[in-house]
Amino acid sequence: MPATPEPPPPAPPKPPGPVRRVPWLATLASGLAVLLAGGPVTAVVQGVSWIGYALAAVAVVVAAGLLLHRFGAIVTVLGQCVGVLLVVTIFFGDGALLGFLPGPAALGHFGALLGGAGQQIDASTAPVAATPEILFLVTAAFGLLTVGVYGAAVVARAPAAAGVPLLAVFAVPAALADQLLPWWAMAGAAAGFGLLLVAAGGLHSQLTGGTALVAGAVVVALGIGLVTPFIGTAGRFASGGGSGPTGSIGLTPFAALRGQLEQSTPAQLFEVRGLTHPTYLRALTLRQYVPDKGWEATRPAPGIPLPGPVQQQPDVPGDFVDVDITNLNFRDYWLPLYGEPIDVADLPETQWLYDAASGTGYTGRPRQEDGWRQRAVLPTPSMQQLRAAQGIDGVGLEYLDTTGVDPRVGQIAKEVIGNAGPGFDRVFALQNWFAGPGSQFTYSLQTAPGSGDDALVEFLTTGKTGYCEQFASAMAVMLRTVGVPSRVAIGFTAGVDEGDHRTISTSDAHAWVEAWFPGIGWTAFDPTPLTDGRRIDPPYVEEAEAELASQESAPADEAPAPEPLSGDDQAPEPASPEPTQPDAAPSVESPGVDIPVWPFVAALLAVVIALVPAAMRIRDRRRRLAAVAGGGPEAAGAGWDELLAESTDRGADTPPSDTVRAAARRLVREHHLEPDAQQALRQVIGAVEASWYGGTHPRAGELDEPVRAVAAGIAAGSALSLRGRLLPRSVVQRARDRRAEARASGGGRSEAVTSR
pLDDT in tens, 580-594: 443 333 333 333 333
The DSSP letter of residue 264 is S
Q: How confident is the model at residue 176 (pLDDT cuts 50, 70, 90)?
A: low
Give the pLDDT confidence score for residue 607 in this predicted structure: 55
10 Å CB burial of residue 523 (0-12, 13-18, 19+) is buried
**Considering only CA atoms, which of 25, 521, 509 is closest in space to residue 249?**
509
**Considering only CA atoms, which of 688, 655, 682, 656 is closest in space to residue 668?**
682
Going from the C-alpha of 109 to that of each of 45, 94, 104, 105, the distances in angstroms are: 22, 7, 9, 6
**Considering only CA atoms, which of 473, 437, 445 is closest in space to residue 458?**
473
> 205 or 676: whose pLDDT is higher?
676
Give the pLDDT confidence score for residue 239 in this predicted structure: 33
Calpha distance 489→545 (Å, rounded): 23
Calpha distance 307→661 (Å, rounded): 91
Is 90 exceeded by the pLDDT of residue 561?
A: no
Give the highest mean pLDDT range of 19-23, 527-531, 575-579, 751-755.
527-531
Q: Which whole number is the average pLDDT over 45-69?
A: 88
Contact 127, 43 (CB under 8 A): yes
Lowest-confidence region among 461-470, 526-535, 567-576? 567-576
10 Å CB burial of residue 206 (0-12, 13-18, 19+) is middle
Contact 381, 523 (CB under 8 A): yes
Query: Which residue pairs from 617-625 have beta carbons closer than 8 angstroms and sit at least 24 positions apart in sequence?
Result: 617/645, 617/649, 617/728, 617/730, 617/731, 620/645, 620/730, 620/731, 621/645, 625/704, 625/707, 625/708
Residue 191 phi, psi dihedral angles, 5° rounding: -65, -40
The DSSP letter of residue 465 is E
Is 90 exceeded by the pLDDT of residue 482?
A: yes
Contact 430, 479 (CB under 8 A): yes
Give the pLDDT confidence score for residue 574 in this predicted structure: 44
Residue 486 phi, psi dihedral angles, 5° rounding: -150, 160
Is 60 exceeded by the pLDDT of residue 17?
A: no
Is 90 exceeded by the pLDDT of residue 430?
A: yes
Calpha distance 244→707 (Å, rounded): 72
User: Up-side HSE of residue 27: CA atoms within 13 Å toward CB?
Assistant: 20
350: helix, strand or coil: coil
Strand order in the sheet with 352-355: 304-306, 352-355, 360-367, 332-335
Cis peptide before 341 (omega within 30 of 0): no
Give the pLDDT confidence score for residue 174 in this predicted structure: 64
> 356 or 169: whose pLDDT is higher?
356
Give the pLDDT confidence score for residue 595 in this predicted structure: 40
Calpha distance 116→645 (Å, rounded): 61
Calpha distance 183→232 (Å, rounded): 8
Give the pLDDT confidence score for residue 96 in this predicted structure: 63
Taking the alpha carbons at both ends of the chain, their separation in whole angstroms is 53
Calpha distance 499→224 (Å, rounded): 56
Convert the pLDDT of each residue in 259-294 to its tens digit.
Answer: 677 666 788 999 999 998 899 999 999 998 888 778
Contact 180, 238 (CB under 8 A): no
Give the pLDDT confidence score for residue 564 in this predicted structure: 47
Lowest-confidence region among 32-41, 45-54, 705-714, 730-739? 730-739
Strand partners, 371: 326
Q: Distance between alpha carbon 506 and the CA centroid of its chain, in Å?
A: 34
Give the pLDDT confidence score for residue 371 in this predicted structure: 94
Q: Which whole number is the average pLDDT over 473-479?
A: 95
**Considering only CA atoms, which of 232, 245, 134 is closest in space to residue 182?**
232
- How many residues can be counted in the chain? 756
Helix (H) or strand (E) holding 48: none
* Total-model pTM: 0.47
How many beta carbons lie within 10 A of that of residue 530, not counting itself?
Answer: 16
DSSP per-residue letters across 120-170: HHHH--SSBP--HHHHHHHHHHHHHHHHHHHIIIIIS--GGGGHHHHHHHH
Q: Which whole number is the average pLDDT over 60-73?
A: 88
Contact 592, 301 (CB under 8 A): no
Query: Which residue pairs from 311-315 have beta carbons closer than 8 angstroms and sit at least 24 positions apart in sequence?
Result: 311/340, 311/341, 311/342, 311/356, 312/342, 313/342, 313/377, 314/340, 314/342, 314/377, 314/521
Q: How confident is the model at residue 452 (pLDDT cuts 50, 70, 90)?
A: low
Q: How confident is the model at residue 243 (pLDDT cuts 50, 70, 90)?
A: very low
Contact 254, 445 (CB under 8 A): no
Calpha distance 49→40 (Å, rounded): 14
How many beta carbons lie within 10 A of that of residue 542, not counting itself?
Answer: 11
**Considering only CA atoms, which of 490, 460, 498 is closest in space to residue 477?**
460
Give the pLDDT confidence score for residue 272 in this predicted structure: 96
Is 70 exceeded by the pLDDT of residue 207?
A: no
Give the pLDDT confidence score for residue 743 in this predicted structure: 57
Give the pLDDT confidence score for residue 489 in this predicted structure: 94
Mean pLDDT of the residues in the chain: 77
Q: Distance between alpha carbon 653 and the CA centroid of its chain, in Å?
A: 48
Give the pLDDT confidence score for residue 610 in this predicted structure: 64
What angle, rounded to 10 degrees, do the helices at 132-150 and 24-37 form?
A: 140
Q: Which whole number is the average pLDDT over 336-359?
A: 91
The DSSP letter of residue 587 is B
Contact 450, 458 (CB under 8 A): yes
How many beta carbons lie within 10 A of that of residue 380, not counting itself?
Answer: 18
What angle, rounded to 10 degrees, do the helices at 132-150 and 163-176 form?
A: 160
Contact 516, 480 (CB under 8 A): no
Give the pLDDT confidence score for residue 511 in this predicted structure: 92
Residue 465 phi, psi dihedral angles, 5° rounding: -135, 130
Convert the pLDDT of each residue in 111-169 to its tens digit.
Answer: 888 887 776 665 455 566 788 888 888 898 899 889 988 888 888 777 777 777 777 66
Q: Which whole number is the average pLDDT over 53-71?
A: 90
Going from the C-alpha of 672 to that of each of 268, 665, 678, 718, the distances in angstroms are: 83, 10, 9, 8
How are beta strands 442-443 and 465-466 bridged, if at all? parallel
Q: How confident is the model at residue 36 (pLDDT cuts 50, 70, 90)?
A: confident
10 Å CB burial of residue 720 (0-12, 13-18, 19+) is middle
Lowest-confidence region among 55-59, 246-250, 288-292? 246-250
User: Up-side HSE of residue 490: CA atoms within 13 Å toward CB?
Assistant: 29
Calpha distance 402→409 (Å, rounded): 10
Convert the pLDDT of each residue in 212-232 to its tens digit.
Answer: 444 544 454 444 444 433 333
Convert the pLDDT of each residue in 618-655 to its tens digit.
Answer: 888 888 999 988 888 888 889 888 888 888 888 887 88
Give the pLDDT confidence score for residue 18 in this predicted structure: 44
Is 50 exceeded by the pLDDT of residue 567?
A: no
Calpha distance 267→247 (Å, rounded): 9
Going from the C-alpha of 230 to that of each of 126, 227, 584, 749, the distances in angstroms are: 17, 8, 20, 53
745: helix, strand or coil: helix
Strand partners, 443: 466
Give the pLDDT confidence score for residue 335 in this predicted structure: 93
What angle, rounded to 10 degrees, do the helices at 468-481 and 407-417 form?
A: 80
Give the pLDDT confidence score for residue 527 in this predicted structure: 94
Q: For the chain, what percent of residues have pLDDT higher than 70? A: 73
Query: Where do the H-state alpha helices sit in 555-596?
Result: none
Q: Which residues, at least 6 apart from 247, have a Cβ–Cβ distance to it below 8 Å? A: 260, 267, 269, 329, 330, 331, 332, 506
